[in-house]
Structure 1
């Protein structure tokens, strides 16, 4: 199991390296606030969660030390890298109500452009 997690983390680093080389817009604001002065390379740090408004393109936000409270995204989220030690549930609503539309495992990265934007999330 640990090897699989390391492979997923390595894949995340590879994807983020490609994003860094291609260039991306700066971080967006949110409440609770994403990390100030966020550097995209911090998305691969242990304990971080990064979300994008496109398939790892466009605006992005970095969250560190994510608690269990509901977070309203600063934009519709279509991709994520979850380097936390918990699963993160994403919702179609702005207040984490209803059935989660996407569940991102610890050390996971995915985009779901065909499924549509998600507007809130919480670590569980």
Structure 2
């Protein structure tokens, strides 16, 4: 699914956003996992990976680099209440600055047994 950037809604828990530059939607579409969607940010593509985290983002970037080595990428992820707009913004910042990614953890409950 392709949609315009600008949504301020929270995507719920566990979502990753991968921002890509130097590629087209046609080039990457076949590699996108489900469920995902593409957000048009005009100067880059932002791939929203629902149910994803930093591992899913890094895996997608790795897969794409194998076939599109000239692309640039950055990502963000959250396991809580970050908005989709915020995640897209941070992923695009990571892309612009050359940092691979950033994460937001809003659920600090003890996950042990």
Q: Could you state the TM-score of these two structures normalised by the residue count of structure 2?
A: 0.28
> Where is the helix percentage greater, Structure 1 or Structure 2?
2
**Greater relative contact order, per chain length (Cα 8 Å cut-off, separation 6+):** 2
